[in-house]
Structure 1
């Protein structure tokens, strides 16, 4: 790895802190270790366990979460740990040994219709990513996700959205899903079973300035903005994710009390998204944040 940068992010649990990276660490899934013996396949986690205050280590594709014992506070050591992880990764250190075994992983993929008739959701029992990624064409996918690039080889595929444990595929009108969903489902399952790379680079570095504005905020938000993000995360995101989509906070206009959000995946361009936005999201925010919300407007991702 080259030029790996780490940003520190607090969590709701004050004993756990996240070290977010600007590069992909592992090929999907996640790993959790409670001690150095459990971390035999992760040289990075083993190194962290040599720190006497480390209780647990959790590794995903784009962050490392560390839980501490109560012998100290994170504020006293988080910068040192950040620098240690950065140095390790920039020295090409192995994060997790993901060498394939002779036994194939038991992976299932099932298809689900979504409220958007152009989009089909292909869900898996394998975790794919901790960061939502969306691709409008094969050129975008080629720079970041071999899985999305492979899906674009189907001539009817218009867009690909990868999140958590599913892939949402938007088709052109040239075909009906009833004729092609089985083929796509089989292809995605075989791709995952083979252990091929899902995401090789996080796409944020290649986004335009306009697209960067749509990035979900991390820890710098306060007040009403932070409350809006919390409500979206707890009440809205699980529902839209079940339909193969995602909603991301973009901005809050304090003067006019207008919330702007980004719709992705199945939610982008969905005929029912406007009704959902007004009748669901807007009403919920108005109810939970009285006198703070006048309107919610959406931008398709």
Structure 2
């Protein structure tokens, strides 16, 4: 007799009632995976996925209910859209960064991070970002989320099942760019405090982060670098000027302007847009 399943899941409490799951199977790294998809009533644009590793093809012929009940390793991965249409946030339901955040603008920068390296191994992934409890993945314009999502889900589950550290070299983990140092001037300390307490949380909610580069006391210019979903986002310049610049200028009179500093990948993207 088929039993109905009502299960609550998601971040922060009740999300919705899970309806009968639809099982999809695919191969990744020579393993067979079964994917159960559920739409959350709390976040209708979000997606929670339950990934089950099955080493036997015969199990794929069983009922989805049997696979769901019999799996030994599973995790719910919820996705959330961002203001950047090319970026998605993936919530593995487990902590990602213990402190701060980490941005991987290219595959070379991901060599010390097994999960980021695995994600860059997926064709179409152009940027990876780690937040406190999420991973933001940015894709190329030509790539389709329909094809990328299953591989990203599998890569995240493989990582958490492996027991590998997030960074092979712990010294390369997130740098606290907004940490206040003894040699910081009062102005710099105020800028860092505002970035850390008022600005950074809002930016992280959108799947990105902001890195403090420096402050020029002569020109009054604060230089920042956008990371994750905020890097290359069409609305990032508006956020920088209308939001961040206005707030810093309001609370810190010494600040006259805020400028965005680009890494090599961002500069290439900007040049491409301008020449098209």
- Kept in 2, the 8 Å contact 1:245–1:267? The answer is yes
Query: 2: CA distance between counterparts of 1:123 and 1:186?
Result: 13
Query: 2: CA distance between counterparts of 1:108 and 1:226?
Result: 40
Q: Give the TM-score taking structure 2 as reference length.
A: 0.62
2:195 is aligned to 232
1:224 Cα deviation (Å)?
Answer: 0.8
1:160 Cα deviation (Å)?
Answer: 1.1
Q: Which runs of 4+ in 1 moved over 6 A?
A: none
1:293 is aligned to 255
C-alpha distance 278-139 of structure 1, shift in aligned 2 (>3 A): closer
1:155 is aligned to 123
Pairs within 5 Å for 1:1-301:
107-129=75-97, 130-142=99-111, 144-202=112-170, 204=172, 215-220=177-182, 221-289=184-252, 291-301=253-263
2:11 is aligned to none
Q: String of CA shifts for 1:256-283, please: whole Å, max 9, x gaps.
A: 2111111111111111000011111111
1:217 Cα deviation (Å)?
Answer: 4.7
Q: String of CA shifts for 1:178-221, please: whole Å, max 9, x gaps.
A: 4422441343134224433321114759xxxxxx9x95554232
- Kept in 2, the 8 Å contact 1:146–1:199? The answer is yes
- Kept in 2, the 8 Å contact 1:286–1:293? The answer is yes
Query: 2: CA distance between counterparts of 1:222 and 1:108?
Result: 46
Query: 2: CA distance between counterparts of 1:241 and 1:259?
Result: 20
1:173 Cα deviation (Å)?
Answer: 1.8
- Structure number with greater CO (CA < 8 Å, separation at least 6) is 1
RMSD of aligned C-alpha atoms? 2.6
Query: 2: CA distance between counterparts of 1:114 and 1:105?
Result: 29
Q: Give the TM-score taking structure 1 as reference length.
A: 0.57
> Unaligned 5+ residue runs, structure 1?
1-103, 206-211
Q: How many aligned positions are there?
A: 190
Query: 2: CA distance between counterparts of 1:106 and 1:216?
Result: 37
Query: 2: CA distance between counterparts of 1:215 and 1:285?
Result: 17
Query: 1: CA distance between counterparts of 2:171 and 2:85?
Result: 27
C-alpha distance 253-139 of structure 1, shift in aligned 2 (>3 A): closer
Query: 2: CA distance between counterparts of 1:218 and 1:128?
Result: 24
> Unaligned 5+ residue runs, structure 2?
1-71, 264-276
